[in-house]
Chain A
């Protein structure tokens, strides 16, 4: 799961990484109390699970109460890359001397953790220059490696020590919380000579959730997503009008691609996992019925041993129980497909032999 900045900073604080004073709020009333406590000047920062918030106007400096009253609601109402504010972080303003970059991330192709550091931070990682890169196995950064990185960054004296200390703390946090990415950008050398984390990004490995009850308070799931997970499905909600369902992540992605190529707009990505049974397909249709704006359902099931009649039964049951009333365009590769077609005659479900035909029918079918 990807933590918001203020959540990442809660963990940083717990691990002794130096931060500016900050408080997160969900309403202007709460924000006003925080502003009073922190004192001006301060920075208003939108909390969204995507990058690029600065460019979108989601970070605003604020000198006094009058500015606060104008800017807080503005930031709160922003949408960054389609994401609404989850909270607002108010942070004390402080004088920055120099911005650095520091991250520890799971290097997928090398299959080890990698430290990236630079003395030219504050920009997106793709544009960070003079990157110092160190592979660190399972994530453990020794004193020697931490100091080596500091030296290669041309840091000296107390600044080098503080940097090395921050890196070691970040490494401990990465290992103990099983992160895929822990990033401080910028990590700043302040005018007062301290090394302070001004921003934080933290992505954990969802597959290790069962070992981390303490992180579950950061889990952000809609009721529908939660229900999908309970059924063992993967669901990603999208903003189109054709729900896409299939068995297997690759197959559903592929169906999404082809639908988009043909001018269709997917309403969701729903992977019901390996096998397809009457129950799992019925469950999937139930989930889709709870999504807004769905005009049609595109089903792509591939199974050497899937009985398509079993799937047809699920469609018929869903219509009968008034779970869905929209048309279903279905490609079922499996056995007994002729019989399944007969069963569905007169219903709002059409079965096609190829996914291309099903997609064409779906795109045409929802136009009327």
Chain B
């Protein structure tokens, strides 16, 4: 299983421990440049940008821009990239990155065709790389590294892992957790598409062994069965850290896409009831409101320590 922490943070003996290099694909676009600046301001070590045709220029006067991922990787040795290109160019950008040796690719674009995601995933599998997204806010270790578009304000370093399909709910619930004194060890947005490079169970496998993990929060929504699979995996693995879930979309009509391409209930497949009942089976309480998440988590922690 992918050791996500060694990719994101490195090992204490590494010279670049906590300062792993990140390449921004599409760094000269308005969205890419805005978030490249925000990531740099957060402390993420953005070592290069890639925009075909703009090689040789510098971003903000200091970050070198290359024409291709191969050149950027050769020059920097970075293993992480974040993609900001328009959806229709995602597959080309992803291939460019994976073929150049990128091991963690964070795919921000929304509206990537599913077949393109599947093709990128097949290549990632072949190369032993991980794709987060598409249509994700990104991944972060608060106060260490932010690879994504999330605002800095809601997050604080701590010991709770937060896994989410939704972007704004990830911010909202992390904000509530932070206010209640629960910092986060890692937060991962898996994205709102029907096919996710990294599913909830994949993130779970990445984070479950973190030694200083106190608990886990899962923010799901209607559509697919990522939450049901996760609940089953939690039951099967005997994972016993306090875990709380939230599911958005209980009041959504069936067979309508609710903003996210993946947020659709077909028959009973993907319904909120199905997800809630599986979490209940796994002894995981499901909050009715985002604000209730820290309350339930505190309850779980209290019961566990007492």
Query: Which residues does A use to contact B, with CB under 8 Å?
Result: 2, 49-51, 106, 108-109, 111-112, 124-126, 138, 178, 180-181, 205-208, 210-211, 234, 236, 238, 246-254, 256-261, 266, 269, 271, 274, 302-305, 333, 354-356
Contacts and interface: CB of A to CB of B under 8 A. Distances in A.
Interface residues of B, number: 62
A247 B113 contact: no
Contacts of A305: 151, 153
B281 interface: no
Contacts of B87: 207
B114 A106 contact: yes
B255 A249 contact: no
Contact of A109 (B118, B221, B224, B261): B224
B81 interface: no
A108 B225 CA distance: 8
Chain A CB within 10 Å, residue with most, of B88, B164, B267, B289 = B289
Interface stretch (B45-53, B59-67, B243-251): B243-251
A252 B263 CA distance: 12
A354 B222 CA distance: 24
Chain B CB within 10 Å, residue with most, of A109, A124, A181, A250 = A250
Contact of B172 (A124, A125, A251, A266): A251
B171 A302 contact: yes
B259 interface: yes
A205 B225 contact: no
Nearest to A246: B168
Interface stretch (B92-100, B192-200, B295-303): B192-200
Contacts of B118: 111-112, 138
A266 B257 CA distance: 16
A304 B171 contact: yes
A50 B255 contact: yes
B259 A253 contact: yes
Contacts of B172: 251, 254, 302, 333
Contacts of A112: 118
B169 interface: yes
22 contacts: A51-B267, A109-B199, A109-B226, A138-B122, A178-B113, A180-B114, A205-B261, A206-B257, A236-B253, A236-B257, A238-B253, A248-B168, A250-B165, A251-B172, A253-B259, A256-B249, A258-B288, A258-B289, A259-B251, A274-B149, A304-B152, A304-B154
A261 B266 CA distance: 23
B259 to A, nearest CB: 3
A49 to B, nearest CB: 7
B258 A274 contact: no
Contacts of B112: 207
Chain A CB within 10 Å, residue with most, of B87, B149, B154, B248 = B248
A257 B167 contact: no
Nearest to B246: A254
Interface in B18-70: none
B224 A257 contact: no
Given A109-B226, A256-B252, A257-B251, A356 B259 contact: no
A305 B255 CA distance: 34
A171 to B, nearest CB: 14
B225 A109 contact: yes
A269 B252 contact: yes
Contacts of A208: 113-115
B127 interface: no
Contacts of B195: 106, 108, 111
Given A108-B224, A126-B267, A207-B112, A253 B249 contact: yes
A329 B150 CA distance: 26
A333 B175 contact: yes
B121 A266 contact: no
Contacts of B171: 302, 304
B290 interface: yes
B11 interface: no
A251 B194 contact: no
Given A304-B151, A304-B171, A250 B221 contact: yes
A51 to B, nearest CB: 7
Contact of B251 (A246, A250, A256, A356): A256
B273 to A, nearest CB: 13
B260 interface: yes
B125 to A, nearest CB: 10
Contacts of A274: 149, 167
A185 to B, nearest CB: 12
A254 B255 contact: no
Contact of A250 (B167, B194, B224, B289): B167
Interface in B216-236: 219, 221-226, 229
Interface in B162-190: 164-172, 175
A253 B275 CA distance: 15
Given A109-B224, A251-B172, A269-B258, A207 B111 contact: yes
Given A49-B255, A356-B291, 18 more contacts: A108-B223, A108-B225, A111-B118, A124-B267, A138-B118, A207-B87, A207-B111, A210-B88, A234-B259, A249-B263, A250-B248, A250-B259, A251-B172, A253-B263, A259-B251, A261-B251, A355-B289, A355-B291
A248 B255 contact: no
Contacts of B111: 206-207
A138 B266 CA distance: 21
B37 to A, nearest CB: 12
Contacts of A260: 250-251
Contacts of B168: 246-248, 250-251, 302
Contacts of B290: 254, 355
B101 interface: no
B242 interface: no
B237 interface: no
B234 to A, nearest CB: 15
